[in-house]
Structure 1
Amino acid sequence: MIGSYHTSTSPTGAPGPSATPENPPAPAQPAPDGAPADDPAAASGPAPGPTAESTADPAGAAPQKDVTPEPVPQSGSGQVRVAQFTRAAPAEQQGRRVRVRVEVENEMPVDPDQVATQAATILQDKRSWPSKQKVRFDFVGGGTHDLVIRVLTPATTDKRCYPLRTNGRVSCSTGSAVNLNGHRWTGGIPDYAGDLTGYRTYLVNHEVGHYLGLGHVECPGRGQPAPVMMQQTYGLDGCARNPWP
């Protein structure tokens, strides 16, 4: 998945006072959101309320057929490559404009433009947040942005998500940044075995949902679709996996 990249010399930055993880460590008290985006020009979106979610990897998890063959390093430099991919939201999508930038830590064996293309495909899909809220997502490459989506090594994710304990395993939404743990992005979870694209869709929609101000919800009942703001990485609790709002 390695390709040619544009490299930013900006570090991912120091963590801010709060965080909303896609999955935190087991039953610690929730911590609020907030590591600021490293670009001072970035406009902040609504900060989510105090929520937290985490999971340990279940023993004996089945390997996923579409997992990247490249190993994910545990830590990196904090320096990022910036995706140059740009795409405006579909014309029929109306509402508040959110300009999205995508970054990948230098040591991650992931192409930033591939991540940006996938994130745009998710967030500009009619099943995503534009169908639920008056919002649209424009992917702006290295331009001025409101939201940054990052794929980071586990150690850098922990730094960006502090003081929430992500334990080198999980992701978080921090103010105007979504910090995706590289292990999750490349490997998914057992409940989405064989469907890494589906898990990435859930992960992006879930964390951007926090950016939009939404908190966690529970499984509504056995066999029903899991809400995207459910902590699906914990497990589905009898719900059917579902990556869309």
Structure 2
Amino acid sequence: MILGACSAGVFAVAHLNASKPAVPAAHKSRPSPPAATSESAQGSRPPTALPSPPPPRIPRRGAGTFTSAGGSSEAVGHGRTLRYVVQTEDGSGLTAASVAAEVERVLADERGWTTSGVAFRRVEEPPYDFRVRAATPDTADALCAEYGLDTQGELNCNVAQTVVVNIRRWILLSPQYAGRPADYHAMIINHEVGHFLERGHRGCPGPGMPAPVMMQQIKGLHGCVANPWPYDRLGNLVTGPRVYP
């Protein structure tokens, strides 16, 4: 619209002053292109990275008492049925229902211990064959120390009829399973339930191969690839050389 108005004005002046020679169009002054605005200049800069959210606060200790997940599940697997309860420490920030859902998912997977010839059924109260307890670091250490195990505020254990899960690692995971909570939970449950089933520690079978679930993977993979399951999808046991103790 602005250029159209300017052209009309030039035409009118030329008509009224026909005796004056017209100024050649090539000699007309034209506005310079606008300089880049600050917005366009900023648009070429890489976006500023947002700060990472702080890690969740993990209570060092809870009440020392436990609440069991309510209800029960159907038996999964074939063979001798093992009854288990799932409990979380009061004051840990975790609900028994959320942990129970993860444990049920893991124990029902076809790559899990059901392939070894056992079945699992979650129950709400005794009698049971074993229990899974999710505990704060201090409480987990105390439960494991009763049987001479030093879990250093970080590790999990199986003692007698109890699988002790340290909630610090349950929530923050381990470097080998960063960003993979479902796999980390599966590895921990399968490893400690494996001990309850009298399975011993195993080592890495070779570089680039899947780590046995009975390998202490959170202490290092030693060339193996992180693997949370006892069996592969073909039903083959993933194992390696025996490690003592």
Sort the Cα spacing of 1:203 and 1:68 in 2 relative to 1 into closer, same or farther, 3 A. Answer: farther
SS in 1 for 2:189: helix
1:136 aligns with 2:122: no
1:187 maps to what in 2? Answer: 172
Equivalence for 2:36: none
- Cα offset, 1:88, TM superposition: 1.5
Runs of 4+ aligned structure 1 residues displaced above 3 Å come to: 67-70
Other-structure match for 1:83: 69
* Alignment partners' CA distance in 2, 1:108 and 1:76: 5
Answering whether residue 188 of structure 2 is matched by residue 203 of structure 1, we say yes
CA distance in 2, matches of 1:138, 1:70: 32
In 2, Cα distance between equivalents of 1:190 and 1:127: 23
Distance 1:232 1:244 in 2: 12
- How many Å apart are 1:124 and its aligned residue? 1.3
Structure 2 counterparts to residues 1-245 of structure 1, below 5 A = 70-90=56-76, 93-131=77-115, 133-162=116-145, 163-245=148-230
Equivalent position amino acid for 1:100 in 2: Y
Cα displacement (A) at 1:95: 1.0
Separation in structure 2 between the aligned mates of residue 87 and residue 109 of structure 1, nearest angstrom? 24
Q: Is the 8 A contact 1:85 1:117 kept in 2?
A: no
In structure 1, runs of 5+ residues without a counterpart are 1-64
**TM-score, normalised to structure 1's length?**
0.69
TM-score by length of 2: 0.69
Deviations 1:81-138 (A, max 9, x none): 1101421223xx211111010000001111111111110110111110011x221110
User: What secondary structure is seen at the aligned counterpart in 2 of 1:214?
Assistant: coil
Cα distance in 2 for residues equivalent to 1:69 and 1:201: 22
Kindly state the Cα deviation for residue 211 of structure 1 after the two structures are TM-superposed: 0.2
Assess, with a 3 A threshold, how the Cα gap between structure 1 residues 85 and 236 changes in structure 2: closer, same or farther.
farther
Equivalents in 1 of 2:150, 2:138: separation in Å? 11
8 Å Cα contact 1:149/1:179 also seen in 2: yes
Match of 1:123, SS? helix
Conserved in 2, the CA contact under 8 Å of 1:68 and 1:186? no
Aligned residues, how many? 177
Alignment gaps of 5+ in structure 2: 1-51, 231-245
- Distance in 2, matches of 1:207 and 1:231, equals 10
Q: Supply the RMSD in Å over aligned alpha carbons.
A: 1.8
Give the AA of the match of 1:89: A
Q: Is the 8 A contact 2:61 2:92 kept in 1?
A: no
1:215 maps to a residue whose letter is G
Query: Per the alignment, in what secondary structure is the counterpart of residue 169 of structure 1?
Result: coil
Evaluate the alpha carbon distance shift between residue 98 and residue 190 of structure 1 in structure 2; reply closer, same or farther with a 3 A threshold: same
Structure 1's 191 and 83: CA in aligned 2 closer, same or farther, altered over 3 A? same
Give the distance between the partners of 1:164 and 1:143, measured in 2 at CA.
26
Deviates more, 1:134-143 or 1:234-243: 134-143
Q: Answer yes or no: is the 8 Å Cα contact 2:211–2:225 preserved in 1.
A: yes
